[in-house]
């Protein structure tokens, strides 16, 4: 932890431009904050905020994984009773039987919390905050105060989500997509929990937007000398596009949530058609259309998939280069392909709605655009695989997870072809094929990205290495468990099993209950693997081997500062004279050229 | 290690702005983009909803003419305040900026009166889809006006304490840009609500 003041560097010193008048006042002598509260709790240091995000996401993931275990228990043994669960969770179980409404709450909250409060928080907000200033060569984010504000906005959102389990009628149960009319009508069974769900999404969106503004401004404005756009590591590129997508698409969810809230509480009919009959009573609503909500939701919902998946892919590119000891294959192609994927991803949302009753010609358009995404995405996938061509692989834990990520993209991506094509999706819509597919793409791919990033940057975060043996066991348990389970779900879906069904033995035409049991045990195995991860994390925090500044012999900028990185990242910002992945160059004495160097202080 | 001269400028200690972004306020641009997308989403919703068969336009209360005038004058006042600052007339700049904030508050007051007028006519949120859109859009917009007023108050405070100079007042400019933007959004919403 350095406490010496850094050189007084105005942020925008270029002559001839209107520099901000407040710039000189804003440049503090960068002392590390001294008190416990300013240093660890209300810190504006991007690394502290990143750790806060990561630990918050880890905390929320305990609940989200726990709920999935209850779901799998119900799906494997729908007719058993579990008296012990009745006493543990009296709101969910009655006489040892899971209440059907609460089963829907569990699936809803598992999806919501995993997508918005675990993966978004860890992968985008967590790693984004940690790695953007370190990899572009900045002392901190562009707006450090806004950064702290965005973290402290997420905390009430998390608390609200958790509280909704304890209100009358339980947590939201209309699915993570919250389709009206179900989500709009208290008469239809969506109670206070659904209102709280909507109110919790508001601070989440506000926080994520503030974070996105910060990321974009930092990446574009705060790069160090010589860090041109085409020298940025791919993690930065993917986080940049993820932020831009979030800025462009989250407002659609905001608008939809406001209108849904007014439909619930204000008596309006934005999404409610005429003639709704609930419990024999005709409701007074008229003129609205639930399809409007679906369009607005998926205008966010589909790009959100890329918001989650792209940073994981970016981390994989960094890790593959560092542990394959060769430059990332096709860097420029990858950069442009990520742009193409993001742009096409914004106009393809309708493939979530093929069976919703929208115009079939519109569906054909969405089909074509969706399948078009295959082209740039294949370039990305091929570049991931080709980054292994003639690689001298060092098979450490981050590399294992990066390799697993490639496998998951292969399986998940091929499944996407069937779902993006309207003709085959008509059959597969809402089946376990979909569940298996999206768990590969935004469960395994993103999860492996998080794990690869954690094992890779842990030394930079805490100055210690994580345990390799535990890491390997964690990798294999996670891989075997998730691949077996989610591949199994594809088969269930082709057999006709639909998602969100309380009792899978009700199907007379499909009797694959043993496969359901197998999937449940596979996921239990994967969940147990995460216990090892937690043990490894806390053990390594205190007992891990001390790490040097650059334990992986990696080239990117974050490895030029000490581990853990000090308050100001560098006393003197490094200068960049090379691309991000110059491994195995002939004239490099250490076998690689670091991207930056710390100049002698002057 | 020696870096090529192409990438180094004479004073290597300071981070120079990069070619893209540079001194331009990318954070502000991103903020305007996301606020713009919010109202674009509402616009899409309105265009879809008005085909619902029960779309009966509600006559807007006349007080919106007053509030609209206030918000336009307020934007002009901000620009006058900036012009005075560029000429080094700090006291005049402070007065005009304060006046602009006052006009912004009058705009908010006008919106509240508009809601009261509608309510007195018996037009409430659920009365008709057009009324629902008027209440919802004007309230969402008012929330952004409150944010803009916060920016003006912040700027006014810094201006009075002499934090801005005729040459360097980017923070002032950014607040002004945001204020013009939310003002323009109101004009757009008004046209949208009158046209349909």
User: In a mutagenesis test of the B interface, which of A225, A573, A596 is the best target, namely the one with the most B β-carbons within 10 Å?
Assistant: A225
Which CATH number fits the domain that encloses residue B87?
A: 1.20.120.80
Query: What is chain A's Cα-based Rg?
Result: 25
Residue B20: inside a domain, yes or no? no
Residue A512: inside a domain, yes or no? yes
The residue range of the domain holding B175 is 65-196
Instruction: Find the closest chain A residue to B173 by CA distance.
Output: A20
Q: What is the mean pLDDT of residues A407-421?
A: 94
What pLDDT, in 10s, does the model give residues A493-538?
A: 999 999 999 999 998 888 899 999 999 999 999 999 999 999 999 9
Which among A7, A12, A577 has CB closest to B17?
Answer: A12
Phi-psi region of B79 (alpha: psi -120 to 50; beta: other; left: phi over 0): alpha
Q: Are A124 and A49 spatial neighbours (Cβ–Cβ below 8 Å)? A: no
Residue B110: inside a domain, yes or no? yes
DSSP alpha helix (H) spans, chain B? 26-49, 63-86, 90-120, 129-160, 170-195
Q: Which of residues 92-111 of B touch A (CB under 8 A)?
A: none
Sort A177 into a burial class: Cβ within 10 Å, 0-12 / 13-18 / 19+: middle
pLDDT band at A29 (very low <50, low <70, confident <90, very high): very low
Asked if A18 and B23 come within 8 Å (Cβ–Cβ), the reply is: yes
Lowest mean pLDDT among A73-87, A180-194, A372-386, B125-139: A180-194
Which CATH number fits the domain that encloses residue A318?
A: 1.20.210.10
Cα separation, A88 vs A94, in Å, equals: 11
Q: Which of residues 131-170 of A touch B (CB under 8 A)?
A: 137-138, 142-143
Residue A599 has pLDDT above 50, yes or no: no
Residue A9 has pLDDT above 80, yes or no: no
For residue A147, the chain B residues in CB contact (below 8 A) are none
Q: Which of residues 16-75 of B touch A (CB under 8 A)?
A: 16-27, 30-31, 33-35, 37-38, 40-42, 44-45, 48-49, 52-55
Q: Are A113 and A64 spatial neighbours (Cβ–Cβ below 8 Å)? A: yes
**pTM attached to this predicted model:** 0.91
The residue range of the domain holding A250 is 44-272+284-597
Q: Are A214 and A146 spatial neighbours (Cβ–Cβ below 8 Å)? A: yes
Residue B15 contacts A, CB cutoff 8 Å: yes
Instruction: Find the closest chain B residue to A254 by CA distance.
Output: B38
Residue A524: inside a domain, yes or no? yes
What pLDDT, in 10s, does the model give residues A213-238?
A: 999 999 998 999 889 999 999 999 99
Size of interface A-B (CB pairs under 8 A): 196
Phi-psi region of A575 (alpha: psi -120 to 50; beta: other; left: phi over 0): beta
Residue A35: inside a domain, yes or no? no
Which among A12, A21, A299 has CB closest to B165?
Answer: A21
Q: pLDDT value at position B24?
A: 64
The strand pair at A277-278 and A281-282 is best described as antiparallel
Residue A286 contacts B, CB cutoff 8 Å: yes
Residue A243 has pLDDT above 80, yes or no: yes
Nearest chain A CA: its distance from B104 CA (Å):
24
Distances (CA, A) of A153 to A158, A209, B156: 9, 11, 27
Q: pLDDT value at position A412?
A: 93
Q: Are A218 and A135 spatial neighbours (Cβ–Cβ below 8 Å)? A: no
User: In a mutagenesis test of the A interface, which of B27, B134, B144 is the best target, namely the one with the most A β-carbons within 10 Å?
Assistant: B27
Cα separation, A274 vs A506, in Å, equals: 33
Nearest chain B CA: its distance from A258 CA (Å):
8
For residue B27, the chain A residues in CB contact (below 8 A) are 142-143, 213-214, 216-217, 221
Q: What is the mean pLDDT of residues B21-47?
A: 88
Residue B35: inside a domain, yes or no? no
Spatial CB neighbours of A41, under 8 Å, sequence gap ≥ 6:
none
DSSP alpha helix (H) spans, A289-439? 290-324, 331-345, 360-386, 397-420, 422-428, 432-439
Q: Which of A328, A162, A361 is nearest to A232 (CA)?
A: A328
Strand, helix or coil for residue A93:
strand
Spatial CB neighbours of A372, under 8 Å, sequence gap ≥ 6:
A344
pLDDT band at B25 (very low <50, low <70, confident <90, very high): confident
* Residue, of A10 and A95, whose pLDDT is higher: A95
Query: What is chain B's Cα-based Rg?
Result: 21
Report the domain count for chain B.
Answer: 1
Q: pLDDT value at position B70?
A: 98
Cite the beta strand spans of A205-296 per DSSP E. 277-278, 281-282
Q: Are A199 and A119 spatial neighbours (Cβ–Cβ below 8 Å)? A: no
Q: pLDDT value at position A463?
A: 95
Average pLDDT, chain A: 90
Write down how long chain B is: 196
Which among A22, A209, A223 has CB closest to B18?
Answer: A223
Lowest mean pLDDT among A26-30, A166-170, A253-257, A263-267: A26-30
Residue B111: inside a domain, yes or no? yes
Cα separation, B123 vs B142, in Å, equals: 19
Spatial CB neighbours of A340, under 8 Å, sequence gap ≥ 6:
A375, A376
For residue B172, the chain A residues in CB contact (below 8 A) are 21
Q: What is the mean pLDDT of residues A334-341?
A: 97
Report the domain count for chain A.
Answer: 1
Q: Are A81 and A97 spatial neighbours (Cβ–Cβ below 8 Å)? A: yes
Cα-Cα end-to-end distance for chain B: 66
Residue B173: inside a domain, yes or no? yes
Residue A312: inside a domain, yes or no? yes
Residue B121: inside a domain, yes or no? yes
Asked if A249 and B37 come within 8 Å (Cβ–Cβ), the reply is: yes
Residue B162 contacts A, CB cutoff 8 Å: no
Residue B17 has pLDDT above 50, yes or no: no
Cα separation, A208 vs A202, in Å, equals: 10
């Amino acid at each position: 932890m350095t406490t010496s003041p850094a050189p007084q560097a105005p942020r925008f010193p270029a002559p001839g431009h209107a520099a901000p008048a407040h710039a000189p006042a804003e440049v503090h002598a960068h002392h590390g904050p001294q008190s416990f509260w300013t240093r660890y709790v209300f810190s504006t240091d991007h690394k502290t905020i990143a750790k806060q995000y990561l630990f918050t996401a880890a905390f929320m993931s305990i609940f989200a994984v726990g709920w999935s275990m209850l779901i799998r228990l119900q799906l494997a043994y729908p007719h058993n009773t579990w008296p012990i669960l009745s006493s543990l969770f009296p709101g969910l179980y009655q006489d040892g039987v899971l209440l059907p409404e609460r089963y829907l709450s569990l699936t809803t909250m598992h999806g919501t919390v995993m997508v918005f409060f675990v993966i978004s928080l860890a992968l985008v907000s967590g790693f984004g905050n940690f790695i953007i200033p370190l990899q572009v060569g900045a002392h901190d984010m562009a707006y450090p105060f806004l950064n702290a504000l965005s973290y402290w906005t997420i905390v009430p959102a998390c608390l609200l989500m958790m509280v909704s389990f304890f209100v009358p009628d339980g947590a939201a149960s209309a699915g993570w997509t919250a389709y009206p009319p179900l989500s709009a009508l208290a008469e239809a069974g969506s109670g206070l929990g659904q209102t709280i769900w909507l109110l919790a999404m508001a601070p989440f969106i506000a926080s994520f937007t503030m974070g996105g503004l910060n990321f974009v401004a930092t990446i574009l404005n705060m790069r160090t000398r010589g860090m041109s756009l085409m020298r940025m590591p791919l993690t930065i590129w993917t986080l940049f596009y993820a932020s831009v997508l979030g800025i462009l698409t989250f407002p659609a969810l905001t608008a939809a949530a406001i209108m849904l809230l007014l439909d619930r509480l204000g008596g309006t009919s934005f999404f409610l058609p005429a003639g709704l009959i609930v419990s024999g009573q005709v409701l007074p609503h008229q003129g609205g259309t639930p399809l409007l909500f679906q369009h607005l939701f998926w205008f966010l919902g589909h790009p959100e998939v890329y918001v989650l998946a792209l940073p994981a892919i970016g981390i994989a590119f960094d890790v593959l280069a560092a542990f394959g000891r060769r430059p990332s294959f096709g860097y420029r192609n990858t950069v442009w392909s990520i742009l193409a994927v993001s742009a096409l991803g914004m106009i393809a949302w309708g493939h979530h709605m093929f069976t919703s009753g929208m115009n079939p010609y519109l569906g054909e358009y969405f089909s074509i655009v969706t399948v078009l995404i295959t082209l740039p995405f294949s370039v990305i996938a091929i570049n991931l695989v080709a980054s292994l061509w003639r690689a001298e692989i060092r098979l450490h834990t981050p590399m294992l997870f990066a390799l697993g990520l490639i496998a998951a993209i292969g399986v998940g991506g091929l499944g996407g072809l069937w779902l993006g094509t309207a003709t085959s999706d008509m059959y597969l819509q809402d089946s376990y094929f979909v569940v298996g597919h999206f768990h590969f793409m935004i469960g395994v791919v993103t999860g492996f990205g998080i794990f690869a990033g954690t094992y890779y940057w842990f030394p930079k975060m805490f100055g210690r290495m994580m345990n390799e043996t535990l890491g390997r066991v964690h990798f294999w348990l996670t891989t075997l468990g998730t691949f077996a389970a989610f591949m199994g779900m594809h088969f269930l879906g082709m057999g006709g099993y639909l998602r969100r069904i309380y009792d899978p033995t009700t199907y007379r035409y499909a009797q694959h209950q043993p496969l359901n049991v197998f999937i449940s045990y596979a996921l239990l195995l994967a969940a147990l693997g995460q216990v090892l991860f937690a043990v490894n994390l806390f053990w390594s925090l205190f007992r891990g081997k001390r790490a040097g500044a650059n334990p992986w012999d990696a080239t990117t900028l974050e490895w030029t500062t000490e581990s853990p990185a000090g308050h100001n990242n560098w006393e003197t910002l490094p200068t960049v004279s090379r691309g991000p992945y110059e491994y195995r160059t002939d004239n490099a004495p250490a076998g690689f050229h670091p991207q930056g160097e710390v100049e002698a202080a002057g | 290690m020696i870096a090529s001269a192409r990438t180094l400028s004479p004073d290597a200690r300071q981070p120079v702005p990069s070619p893209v972004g540079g001194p331009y306020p990318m954070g502000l641009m991103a903020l305007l983009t996301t606020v713009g997308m919010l109202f674009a989403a509402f616009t899409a919703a309105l265009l879809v909803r008005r085909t619902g068969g029960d779309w009966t336009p509600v006559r807007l209360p006349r007080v919106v003419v007053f509030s609209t005038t206030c918000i336009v004058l307020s934007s002009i006042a901000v620009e006058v305040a900036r012009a005075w600052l560029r000429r080094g007339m700090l006291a005049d700049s402070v007065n005009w900026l304060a006046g602009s904030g006052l006009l912004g508050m009058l705009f908010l007051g006008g919106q509240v009166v508009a809601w009261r007028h509608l309510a007195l006519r018996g037009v409430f949120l659920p009365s008709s889809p057009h009324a629902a859109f008027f209440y919802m859009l004007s309230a969402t917009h008012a929330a952004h006006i409150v944010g803009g007023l916060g920016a003006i108050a912040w700027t006014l405070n810094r201006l009075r304490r002499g934090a801005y100079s005729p040459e360097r007042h980017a923070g002032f400019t950014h607040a002004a840009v945001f204020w013009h933007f939310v003002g323009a959004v109101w004009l757009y919403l008004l046209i949208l609500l009158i046209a349909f």
